[in-house]
Amino acid sequence: SAELVFVGYGASAPEYRWDDFKDVDVRGKVLLVLVNDPPAPAGEPNLFGGRAMTYYGRWPYKFEEAERHGAVGALIVHTTERAGYPWHTVVGSWAKEQRMLPRDPKLPAPLQFRGWITDDAAKQVLSQAGLSLDDLVRRASSRDFRPVPTGITMDVAFRNQVQHLKSENVVGTLRGSDPRLSSQYVAFSAHWDHLGIGPAVNGDSIYNGALDNASGVADLLAVARAAAQRPRPRRSLLFVFVTAEESGLLGSEFYARNPTVPIGSIVANLNMDGGNLLGRVNDLRVLGDTKSSLGPQLAALVRPRGMRISPEEHPERGAFYRSDHFAFAKAGVPAVSIGEGSDFVGRPKGWGAEQEEEYTAKHYHQPSDEYRPDLDLTGAVQLAQVVLDFGRTLANAATVPTWNADAEFRSARSGAATK
């Protein structure tokens, strides 16, 4: 039983001179928080990355910050626009058991409960206290915002059954040929898990995850097989198939904390989350291409092939923070996730974007993400070839990739170099 306190976007970001908590004590409270970043005003177009979501906007950060402030619980208000995915995606991931890594004793006490609430439900709850969610959202868009006690007491009762489970990351290594540089690694990654069995949709309760991410695993297996058949590059190649991505990047987080090689010896991470099952493309979508030297290096590699890197179409969805390369990036490793763009060979302009929107709305984290005989695997071959060639190029290069001067992970790299 605890009071519900609205904390806006729940962000403490000194580099943006933004603090939603101010000096208000929210210890022992349940926090109601908005997903995504505070909107950038006209006078500060680059506040919180402008249109692009920062980590401050991601749901894991909201819970982490609530813990740091001593809250006992937190509820995130969902809208499809702010979250970047529909409510049924939240239900598919959260209406079942939740998984987490063993708790680091150095971290603050965990929240007693955490969850999501629809925009409409939040409005109904707040109306009981004479508050308007729309008005609170407007107030939360200002640096002057302060937490709003609602006067509403939340009584939460539930029973948990705790099970200790073990799931495997699968790692393979191809040793490099250079006596000195073989102690450095280019790491490839793809997550092999999906959602298993969940709520039935049209009588189907098996969440196969054909695109997300059996396709990425198949691509990475092909990359590993092809790499083993070619002359060894100077640096070593590390193939990391991680578990529990869908539970919050748990497998990659665990690997970054407990790497099979020193984390500072990994010079780059190339992630594959969702292969191309729609045919060949003229462009790539690369998450993180503007954060390090990896972006320009990859652009130079594919340019002679008549390909280009297209800007991210929906940077407000925070895709960079939603796959396993992010765990490597937080540990200081320059990292990108490489996938197809939207300019498909032989297709009209806009066709690729339409396919992506349809997948997100109808098939993402749904039983309908499954194999079909009419899938066009020529794009998967093209993508695997690009990733293979890029990894080998990095493994043979005279220098290693670096973070850009303004990258949020640059300081972590200097720490990783000593580990």
The string of pLDDT tens digits covering residues 365-395 is 999 999 999 999 999 999 999 999 999 999 9
Q: Which of 19-33, 39-53, 187-201 has the lowest mean pLDDT?
A: 39-53
How many helices (H) and strands (E) the chain has is answered by 12, 16
Angle between helices 378-396 and 215-228 (to 10 degrees): 50
Q: Which two tokens stand for residue 259?
A: 């790497």
Write the single-letter amino acid at 247.
S
Of the pLDDT bands very low, low, confident and very high (cuts 50, 70, 90), residue 104 is confident
Give residue 413's pLDDT: 84
Of the pLDDT bands very low, low, confident and very high (cuts 50, 70, 90), residue 43 is confident
Residue owning tokens 């250079």 = 178
Which residues neighbour 416 within 8 Å (Cβ) at sequence distance 6 or greater?
263, 264, 331, 332, 333
Q: How many CB atoms lie within 10 A of CB 24?
A: 15
pLDDT tens digits along 154-201: 998 888 888 999 999 999 999 999 999 999 999 999 999 999 998 899
Candidates 23, 14, 15, 31; CA nearest to 66 is 31
Question: Is 366 strand, coil or helix?
Answer: coil
Q: Which two tokens stand for residue 163?
A: 């099970």
Of the pLDDT bands very low, low, confident and very high (cuts 50, 70, 90), residue 85 is confident
Most confident residue range from 32-46, 97-111, 288-302: 288-302
**pLDDT at residue 418 tops 60:** no
* Gap between the Cα atoms of 416 and 377, Å rounded: 38
pTM of the model: 0.87
| Residues paired with residue 284 on neighbouring β-strands, in sequence order | 309, 340
* Gap between the Cα atoms of 339 and 382, Å rounded: 10
Torsion of Cα atoms, 139 then 113 then 123 then 360, to 10° = 90
pLDDT tens digits along 284-326: 999 999 999 999 999 999 999 999 999 988 888 889 999 999 9
Structural domains in the chain? 2-154 (3.50.30), 170-416 (3.40.630.10)
Q: How many CB atoms lie within 10 A of CB 81?
A: 11
Q: What angle do CA 272, 277, 281 make, to 5 degrees?
A: 85
* Gap between the Cα atoms of 301 and 304, Å rounded: 7
Candidates 329, 196, 358, 353; CA nearest to 268 is 329
Residue 30 CB-density burial (10 A; 0-12 exposed, 13-18 middle, 19+ buried): buried
Backbone angles phi, psi at 229, to 5 degrees: -90, -5
* Gap between the Cα atoms of 409 and 370, Å rounded: 36
